[in-house]
Amino acid sequence: MPYDPNEQWREYHVTPRYLAGSTFTGDPALQPLLDAGWKLNHDEMGNAYINAPDQTVRLGYLPEGDNDALWKITAYSDPFAMPRWLVTFQDSTPTEIVQDFTTTLAAAYVEGPDSYLYYGNSELAALDVATPLAAAGWSHRYGATDVSFESPDGLAKVHLRRNRLDHAAEMTGHQERWLMLAGPPSNQWYATASSFTPKGLVAAMNTALTDPAPVIRYGDDLRRLPPQATATPVRPPVPTPLDVRRAHAANARSTVAPSPVGARPFIPAPCPPSAPQVPHPGQSR
């Protein structure tokens, strides 16, 4: 859909959501954790950090980070040890997908360590974790070193690495157990999850990726959408009968000025007859 600069604030429904791009604000994805009582801190560069109450999970929102991984989430079984798992989202990831993940993470934290810290996924659990992909009609392919899933339009893929990975390399972002890619080749974003990421959290990432519900973007955002995305203007809500009656009543009050009680109508006074003109000398009638 062509961009119209005169409608930059008009709302549009964008589908599929994995082509919608970021909203360029982290607030919606941070809010589920803040609502759960997690603590927010900032550094002098403007990066934001949210810590679980017991310091076992940490989220970084890093617009001034060292690379294009805008979101980094880590969990620790020992506060002085290397993280147990790492999840990342690149800076072009649709914010709603990150928000769905943090919502699931907040709920898992309430359930306890078995939900948010342990029971990482394995190849045997891959079919369970990939259930949302199969339910959305994604195809799959088994390779020598990975299992790949692909969306019907071919614009989103999820790879599960089957080979042995080095934990330290995973925690520094050089390797990943799960890799998600979405968008045309010239405009792709990625997300990753390491080997010990609890399978419920990986399943939440896959569910968010395949959610068919549209997301809201504005006219000014349409310039950044790939041509394969669909943008439909959001129609204003249909007024109810009560809305119509209220509108009629408001219009009646604004166009008809009430007359004061007992006021008499205004009648203009008659004009006095004009005096006859007296001709001046030398002037004929």
Q: Alpha-carbon Rg of the chain, whole angstroms? A: 32
Confidence of residue 254 (pLDDT cuts 50, 70, 90): low
Confidence of residue 206 (pLDDT cuts 50, 70, 90): very high
Please spell the DSSP secondary structure of the chain, one letter per residue.
----GGGTT-EEEEESGGGS---S--HHHHHHHHHTT-EEEE-TTS-EEEE-TTSSEEEEE-TTSSSSEEEEEEE-SSTTS--SEEEEEETTS-HHHHHHHHHHHHHHHHH-HHHHTS-B--GGGHHHHTHHHHHTT-EEEE-SSEEEEE-TTSSEEEEEE-S---HHHHHTTS--SEEEEES-GGG-EEEEE-TTSBHHHHHHHHHHHH--S-EEEEGGGGGGS-TTSEEEEPPPPPPPHHHHHHHHHHHHHHHSPPPPTTPPPP-PPPPPPPPPPPPPTT---
Mean pLDDT of 41-55: 95
- Asked if the model's pLDDT at residue 235 lies above 70, the reply is yes
Summarize pLDDT for 53-104 with one digit per residue, the tens.
Answer: 999 999 999 999 989 999 999 999 998 899 999 999 999 999 999 999 999 9
Tokens of 51: 């810590």
The Cβ-side half-sphere exposure at 278, using a 13 Å CA radius, reads 1
pLDDT at 121: 62
Q: Greater confidence, 181 or 4?
A: 181
Mean pLDDT of 197-219: 95
Confidence of residue 140 (pLDDT cuts 50, 70, 90): very high
Confidence of residue 183 (pLDDT cuts 50, 70, 90): very high
pLDDT at 2: 54
pLDDT at 101: 98
